[in-house]
């Protein structure tokens, strides 16, 4: 995670971002700290990345890399405004003992567009990550990559439309409206038992969630997901990240998972 010390919305690279709308920085920090403390209280270790004043979107740490089996696929950002974040992440991995690091040839925005199940890596495209990054990830991780086409600009990253609930049983939840008809059919075929989110919960960024297989941390506004999650024996934990929503991100965007 990376604290939102320098968070602000000065440019717009997704429909959620409105530079005219004020951001309450101290509230953003407090909300982010609550999320960090929730992870710790659940027994998870949180590593921190040093924020940089010239990179206001750095709080969305999920985009900086993808780690599977301890192997690190670096990011390459679609927008110039975020380009320099990729190197900051790689620097952290090098300083923290990761040796299998691949600097990507193609644009990929880390876990924004890569979701990991036990069997597959699900990969978004259409707005940010290049379809070519899917082959690159498959080759580097040696896991089958399933490409999914995103079609609604509000759901510009895969992690705004789909979330892995259990990476052992391959349980996922997603909002079908974010995907092309073909990709919807692929998801229905691979995950016939998936939790299907409604539009209102997707619009509250409810799919931007992090699950440890039992607790699901998600934006608290996605009230329609709480019941269905409980019915599947998950424990939903609502988190208020209203300020970070103004940049187009929530729980998952703020969290990069280090899979050993
Ligand atoms: N403002 C950021 C952007 O548009 C938000 C990134 C959200 N991160 C995510 N994993 N979806 O790039």
CATH architecture of the domain formed by 25-245: 5-stranded Propeller (3.75)
* Catalytic-labelled residue, pool 89, 134, 253, 254: 253
Concerning whether 2 is annotated as a catalytic residue, the answer is no
Ligand 1 pocket test target in 127, 247, 250, 252 with most atoms within 8 Å of CB: 247
85 lines ligand 1 (CB under 6 A): no
pLDDT value for 194: 98
124 lines ligand 1 (CB under 6 A): no
245 lines ligand 1 (CB under 6 A): no
Cβ burial, residue 44 (10 Å; 0-12/13-18/19+): middle
Measure Cα distances from 2 to 48, 92, 185, 197 in Å: 6, 11, 36, 28
Please report, in tens digits, the pLDDT of each residue of the chain (260 residues total).
999 999 999 999 999 999 999 999 999 999 999 999 999 999 999 999 999 999 999 999 999 999 999 999 999 999 999 999 999 999 999 999 999 999 999 999 999 999 999 999 999 999 999 999 999 999 999 999 999 999 999 999 999 999 999 999 999 999 999 999 999 999 999 999 999 999 999 999 999 999 999 999 999 999 999 999 999 999 999 999 999 999 999 999 999 999 99
Backbone φ and ψ of 246, nearest 5°: -70, -15
Domain ranges of the chain: 25-245
Q: Is the ipTM of this complex over 0.90?
A: yes
The model's pTM is 0.97
How many A from CA of 116 to the centre of ligand 1? 18
Backbone φ and ψ of 8, nearest 5°: -165, 165
The residues facing 173 across adjacent strands are: 163, 195
pLDDT value for 151: 98
237 lines ligand 1 (CB under 6 A): no
Q: What is the C-alpha R_g of the chain? A: 17
End-to-end, the C-alpha distance of the chain in Å comes to: 16
Ligand 1 pocket test target in 12, 28, 76, 157 with most atoms within 8 Å of CB: 157
pLDDT value for 121: 98
């Amino acid at each position: 995670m990376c604290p939102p010390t320098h968070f602000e919305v000065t440019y717009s690279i997704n429909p959620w971002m409105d530079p005219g709308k004020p951001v309450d920085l101290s509230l953003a920090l407090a909300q982010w700290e609550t999320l960090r403390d929730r992870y710790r209280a659940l027994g998870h270790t949180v590593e921190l990345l040093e924020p940089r004043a010239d990179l206001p979107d750095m709080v969305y740490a999920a985009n900086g890399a993808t780690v599977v089996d301890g192997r690190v696929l670096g990011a390459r950002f679609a927008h110039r405004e975020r380009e320099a974040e990729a190197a900051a992440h790689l620097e952290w991995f090098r300083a923290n003992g990761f040796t299998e690091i691949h600097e990507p040839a193609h644009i990929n925005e880390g876990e924004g567009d890569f979701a990991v199940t036990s069997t597959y890596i699900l990969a978004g495209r259409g707005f940010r990550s290049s379809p070519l990054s899917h082959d690159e990830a498959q080759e580097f991780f040696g896991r089958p990559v399933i490409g999914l086409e995103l079609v609604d600009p509000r759901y510009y990253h895969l992690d705004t439309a789909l979330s892995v609930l259990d990476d052992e049983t391959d349980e996922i939840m997603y909002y079908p409206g974010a995907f092309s008809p073909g990709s919807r059919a692929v998801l229905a075929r691979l995950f016939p038992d998936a939790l299907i989110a409604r539009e209102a919960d997707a619009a509250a960024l409810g799919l931007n969630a992090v699950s440890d297989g039992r607790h699901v941390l998600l934006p608290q506004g996605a009230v329609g997901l709480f019941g269905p999650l409980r019915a599947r024996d998950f424990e939903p934990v609502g988190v208020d990240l209203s300020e970070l929503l103004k940049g187009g991100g929530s729980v998952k965007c703020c969290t990069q998972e280090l899979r050993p």
